[in-house]
Copies of this chain bind each other. A is one copy, B any other.
Amino acid sequence: MPGVMELLPREQELHRDLMRRIQEGFARFGFVPIETPAIELSEILLTKTGGETERQVYFVQSAGQLEKGSDPELALRFDLTVPLARYVAEHEHDLVFPFRRYQIQRVYRGERAQRGRFREFYQCDIDIIDRDELSVRHDAEIAATAASVLHDIEIGAFTIRINHRQLLRGLLEQAGVADVSSQSDLIRHIDKLDKIGPQKVASFLIDGGMSPAAAETLLRHTATRTTSHDEGLAVLGDLADGPAGGGAESLMEVFRVLADLGVPEDRYCLDLSVARGLDYYTGTVYETVLDDHPELGSISGGGRYDDLAGQYTNTHLPGVGISIGLTRLFFQLRDAGLLPYERAVLDAVVTLMDDDGLSYALEVASLLRAGGLRVETHMEPGKIGKQLRNADRAGIRYALIDGGQERTDHTITVRDLVEGTQDTVPLEKALAKIDKG
């Protein structure tokens, strides 16, 4: 089926390992896990979304409901944010605020399948939600967590580009666009800077009524991308006096806390072109690109929003979050030959050359398993050459061999299929000969 992800076991193991690293990184920064059902009530999922998202929703019906021809009451989640909003509203009285959750689950979008677009894919989200007010320092925590996790998955150098919606609105105000709704329209154009270039964005701005001079000034501003912590603070200091002052002050605090959190200064920058298309965001916005592969686009994005769950609860719930699109990232890295490392799917195979050796082979396997290794055993005797070839094909590095003498001597031959070496050792020494993959 096109547009779905499906991997062979060796790649699945690597995908799983990336996911595990992301999860552990989220937990180290104090985020706690939740999972929500893939199926939600349609009315919950579609409460506040516009036409575009609604067209992407997959509706779900049981056979019985389908026969009745009734409107579908259920749908598959298309992101993890709407389910989070419903979750927080539903469990509000059982949660401790600020509520810091991570969620790594699949989401579903009924788009036409095309290259790089998936109908079913993993998102890895963190959000911090508080009641009434949420300190801007958490905006730095979110970016620091993303920086730590992206470092841990070893995908190469990256930069988290940070901007603030109020900065953009301030710049637009300076360019003569005072109306908030017009600002939002133009922010959506600015969001396309990376894709269509400043020339085209300028013509959109001018078509929208901006003077060519104002458009030029604006685009000169949005071309700002700082290259050090101090430069970031200096640019923000300059902006703090203008109409975007509030945003600049907030980002200065974000920058200071990022440094306190030990994030290396080449992992983040101020980038006044970062817009994030969604109206949803009201403060800090983030996008992350791989330094050596900007062509892959943003691998992680997010930002600050005023109120998470206004449609489900009267409690005012400001939040900030970021999302890593793991599936898209994984396939992009794979297709570009950039997957960061190999991970063995199993550690060792215990071969079997003759039927009398079964008990001893199973004893060997049990011993290695007790040592934490992942071990396959041959249950029927076969040609050793074929058993070794199959192990190599499955990506297993070590083969344990008992040719008959070993069981008599209570030894085992450990063959390293990568190095092509082997060594016969007392059984209790076998574990030490094997590197866990």
Contacts A108-B39, A120-B37; A30 near B63 (Cβ below 8 A): no
Cβ B260 vs Cβ A358 within 8 A: yes
User: In the bound complex, do residue B366 and residue A262 qualify as a contact, i.e. CB atoms below 8 Å apart?
Assistant: yes
Verify A28–B64 contact, CB threshold 8 A.
no
Q: Are B91 and A8 in contact (CB under 8 A)?
A: yes
**Given contacts A376-B100, A393-B96, is CB(A28)–CB(B369) below 8 Å?**
yes
Q: List 29 interface pairs A-B (beta carbons < 8 Å), by A numbering.
A: A1-B41, A4-B37, A6-B36, A6-B87, A8-B34, A13-B33, A37-B119, A38-B38, A38-B106, A38-B120, A39-B58, A39-B120, A54-B63, A55-B63, A56-B62, A57-B62, A58-B62, A59-B60, A59-B61, A61-B61, A62-B110, A96-B390, A135-B379, A137-B379, A141-B377, A148-B369, A257-B379, A260-B362, A261-B366
A13 and B38 form a contact (CB under 8 A): no
- CB-contacts of A10-43 with B (<8 A): 10, 12-13, 16, 27-30, 32-41
Task: Let me know if A372 is at the binding interface, CB within 8 A.
Answer: yes
For the complex, what is the distance from the CA of A110 to the CA of B59, rounded to whole Å? 13
- A157 at interface, CB cutoff 8 A: no
User: Are B1 and A40 touching (Cβ within 8 A)?
Assistant: yes
Question: Smallest Cβ distance from A274 to chain B, in angstroms?
Answer: 23
A39 to B106, CA, bound (A): 11
A119 vs B62: C-alpha distance when bound (angstroms): 10
Complex alpha-carbon distance, A64 and B58, angstroms: 9
CB atoms of B63 and A60 under 8 A apart = no
Minimum CB distance partner of A379 in chain B:
B137
Does A278 sit at the interface, judged by CB under 8 A? Answer: no
**Is A180's CB within 8 Å of the partner chain B?**
no
Number of this chain's copies in the assembly equals 2
Contact B59 A64 (CB under 8 A): no
- Report the minimal beta-carbon distance from A395 to chain B, rounded to whole angstroms: 9
Q: Which of A84-108 contact B (CB under 8 A)?
A: 87, 91, 94-96, 100-101, 106, 108
- Known interface pairs A260-B359, A362-B257, A362-B260; A33-B54 also in contact (CB < 8 Å): no
Contact of A34 among B7, B29, B55, B135 (CB under 8 A): B7
Q: Are A8 and B377 in contact (CB under 8 A)?
A: no
Q: Which of A101-128 contact B (CB under 8 A)?
A: 101, 106, 108, 110, 119-120
A363 touches B260 (CB 8 A): yes
In the A-B complex, the 3 residue pairs with the closest CB atoms: A62-B110, A30-B376, A9-B32
CA distance A16 to B39 in the complex (A): 20
